């Protein structure tokens, strides 16, 4: 009975952690529409407000690992909950622009620490055959949180100072997570339990030789310095290569930007009204939820490596298809931010809303940006130079993190923009029917891309990161990789429109397809299969293999 209670509470902590992450990433897109008016925010201030979450999250990824390793995963989650409650109160009661920025930075710091600590804590708490399911539950929480933020954006859109309710409602799931984790053990890691786990049949060692080594050398926790991540000791350098490769490929395969053009694609295939575009974007969000549930179901059966490679192959095919179809039927790209601040443009807010994008637990993790503002996404938030860029930024912590999930929000807000811009002809002079076919192919390819990311890179990146490092440095290693995820997301989103100007939209997506192929090769060569193995067994195998 106690084991079942621990399992249910672990699942609750993981799900709520992801839900809070996705909600905070997504809610800004709707709140910003009201904040623009209430606080008279121009382009620059909108960028500052959106990127403030990114600033807090980046700071957390630099110092959060030390907190997690030195003071424990459980305490780190509890502290992040208290900080998040404090940040939500600041936002709810804010009377000035500075108050909003401080509140969002505080929230960004909290969700970044929480995303890392949740994935690590849950991975150490549960048995090997349940680890994939429960860590992937975090990614599912992110997608649900984003959908929830869409719904609340819609509900409070016409409420006076509705943004206060949007920010304040994050207090409820935060308080629930805080209470849930109070009933969980302080130290989930039982480093001397590896042999007993094997004897119970939870983890089948792969060979008789492994079994003999395990009996001769009982597992002991080792102490590491941060610089050990780059040394050959216990093969740490290869582990760092695997971790950095996964988080960088997660971004460089186009995740932060593909959804930035979803609303244009919806518009081009006939979703003309605001409501139908919103429905379409929510449908895309629902696809992400379903795909993440599929990943949860198969993470411990098919394995992390198989899902990563399958997801990468589908992503590469999808973005290549988008690149080829947009060669023939190009999509118009808007890249100015002034309309959002124009009081005479009734649809300016919807035309250039913040857009959140998801990913990680870190999770993947994402927020939207307005105009030339900065958009935060997935495991990282991206600062962008234009509204389109804002939409482009995507998730992951995911963490997770990948991320990744707030992207859907961006879709909804940009979909509304698109309808306001519907006076522009979506295509050139090619026959309409041919363009419709090509644009439906583009739409289906984008859905396939979203599904593939949510099955592969979205949840699996953070799951593998929570497994491959020794317990003594797991928090710092996870945070180190997560900081690169945020930085890469920022870089991709900032440079996206400039690259489109330089090489063209279609070539950009063909380049993403090439990166997807390279990611498949990287995973095949370097990423080991970790399903069904205890964390200690994974560590010992890494230590022995060169």
User: Higher model confidence: residue 521 or residue 216?
Assistant: 521
pLDDT of residue 269: 67
**Mean pLDDT, range 50-71, rounded to an integer:** 88
CATH homologous superfamily of domain 1-183? MFS general substrate transporter like domains (1.20.1250.20)
pLDDT of residue 212: 54
Closest CA to 381 of 354, 412, 352, 414: 354
**Mean pLDDT, range 115-124, rounded to an integer:** 89
C-alpha distance from residue 189 to each of 53, 121, 125, 536 (Å): 32, 9, 7, 10
pLDDT surpassing 50 at residue 368: no
Q: Hey, do 1-183 and 228-332+433-545 end up sharing a CATH topology, with the first three levels equal? A: yes
What band does 201 get if pLDDT is binned at 50, 70 and 90?
very low
pLDDT of residue 500: 77
**Mean pLDDT, range 458-469, rounded to an integer:** 89
Model pLDDT for residues 414-434, shown as the tens digit of each residue: 444 444 444 444 444 456 677
pLDDT surpassing 60 at residue 375: no
User: Higher model confidence: residue 282 or residue 402?
Assistant: 282
Measured distance CA(448)–CA(323) in Å, rounded: 14
Average pLDDT taken over every residue of the chain: 75
pLDDT surpassing 90 at residue 226: no
What band does 385 get if pLDDT is binned at 50, 70 and 90?
very low
Q: Which residue has the tokens 């932060």?
A: 256
CATH topology of domain 228-332+433-545: Growth Hormone; Chain: A; (1.20.1250)
**Mean pLDDT, range 17-26, rounded to an integer:** 92
353 HSE (CA, 13 A, CB side): 36
Q: Are 36 and 46 in contact (CB under 8 A)?
A: yes
pLDDT surpassing 70 at residue 200: no
* Domain ranges across the chain: 1-183, 228-332+433-545
Residues sharing a CB contact under 8 Å with residue 124, sequence separation 6 or more, in sequence order = 73, 188, 189, 471, 535
Residue 186 burial (10 A CB sphere; 0-12, 13-18, 19+): exposed
What predicted TM-score, i.e. pTM, was given to this entire model? 0.72
Residues sharing a CB contact under 8 Å with residue 283, sequence separation 6 or more, in sequence order = none
Provide, rounded to the nearest whole percent, the portion of the chain with pLDDT above 70.
70
Q: Which DSSP string do the residues of 355-406 spell out, in sequence order?
A: --B-EEEEES--B---TTSB-BBTTB--B-SSHHHHHH---EEEEEEEE--T
Bridge partner residues of 359 (DSSP): 403
Provide, rounded to the nearest whole percent, the portion of the chain with pLDDT above 90.
27
Model pLDDT for residues 73-104, shown as the tens digit of each residue: 899 999 999 999 999 999 999 999 999 999 99
Crossing angle of the two packed helices 274-298 and 457-468, in degrees rounded to 10: 40
What band does 383 get if pLDDT is binned at 50, 70 and 90?
very low
C-alpha distance from residue 422 to each of 266, 282, 334, 337 (Å): 12, 20, 12, 17
Model pLDDT for residues 331-365, shown as the tens digit of each residue: 655 544 444 444 333 333 333 333 333 333 333 33
């Amino acid at each position: 009975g106690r084991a079942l209670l621990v399992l249910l509470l672990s699942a609750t902590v993981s799900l709520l952690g992801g839900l809070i992450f996705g909600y905070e990433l997504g809610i800004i897109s709707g709140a910003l529409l009201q904040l623009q008016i209430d606080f008279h925010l121009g382009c620059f201030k909108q960028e500052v407000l959106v990127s403030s979450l990114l600033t807090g999250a980046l700071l957390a990824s630099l110092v959060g690992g030390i907190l997690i390793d030195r003071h424990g995963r459980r305490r780190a989650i509890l502290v992040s909950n208290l900080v998040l409650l404090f940040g939500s109160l600041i936002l709810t009661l804010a009377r000035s622009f500075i108050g909003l920025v401080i509140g969002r930075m505080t929230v960004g710091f909290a969700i970044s620490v929480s995303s890392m600590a949740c994935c690590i804590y849950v991975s150490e708490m549960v048995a090997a055959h349940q680890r994939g399911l429960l860590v992937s539950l975090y990614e599912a929480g992110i997608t649900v949180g984003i959908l929830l933020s869409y719904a609340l954006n819609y509900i409070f859109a016409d409420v006076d100072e509705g943004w206060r309710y949007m920010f304040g409602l994050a207090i409820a799931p935060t308080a629930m997570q805080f209470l849930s984790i109070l009933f969980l053990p302080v130290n989930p890691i039982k480093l001397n339990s590896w042999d007993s786990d094997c004897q119970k049949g939870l983890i089948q060692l792969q060979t008789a030789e492994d079994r003999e080594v395990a009996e001769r050398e009982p597992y002991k926790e080792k102490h590491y310095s941060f610089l050990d991540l780059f040394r050959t000791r216990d093969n740490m350098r290869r582990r760092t290569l695997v971790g950095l490769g996964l988080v960088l490929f997660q971004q460089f395969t186009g995740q932060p930007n593909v959804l930035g053009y979803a609303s244009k694609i919806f518009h081009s295939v006939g979703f003309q009204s605001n409501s139908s575009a919103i429905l379409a974007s929510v449908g895309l969000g629902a696809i992400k939820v379903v795909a993440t549930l599929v990943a949860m179901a198969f993470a411990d059966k098919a394995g992390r490596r198989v899902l990563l490679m399958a997801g990468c192959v589908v992503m590469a095919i999808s973005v290549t298809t988008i690149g080829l179809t947009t060669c023939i039927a190009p999509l118009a790209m808007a890249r100015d931010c002034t309309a959002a601040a124009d009081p005479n443009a009734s649809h300016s807010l919807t035309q250039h809303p913040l857009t959140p994008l998801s990913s990680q637990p870190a999770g993947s993790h994402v927020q939207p940006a307005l105009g030339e503002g900065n958009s935060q996404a997935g495991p990282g938030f991206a600062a962008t130079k234009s509204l389109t860029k804002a939409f482009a930024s995507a998730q992951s912590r995911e963490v997770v993190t990948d991320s990744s999930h707030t992207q859907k929000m961006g879709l909804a807000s940009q979909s509304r923009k698109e309808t306001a811009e519907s006076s522009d002809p979506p295509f050139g002079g090619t026959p309409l029917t041919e363009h419709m076919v090509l644009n439906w192919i583009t739409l289906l390819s984008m859905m396939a891309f979203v599904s593939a990311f949510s099955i592969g890179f979205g949840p699996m990146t953070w799951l593998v990161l929570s497994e491959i490092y020794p317990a003594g440095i797991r928090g710092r290693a996870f945070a180190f990789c997560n900081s690169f995820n945020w930085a890469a997301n920022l870089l991709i989103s900032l440079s996206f429109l400039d690259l489109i100007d330089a090489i063209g939209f279609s070539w950009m997506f063909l380049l993403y397809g090439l990166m997807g192929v390279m990611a498949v090769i990287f995973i095949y060569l370097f990423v080991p299969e970790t399903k069904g193995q205890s964390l200690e067994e994974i560590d010992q195998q890494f230590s022995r293999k060169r």
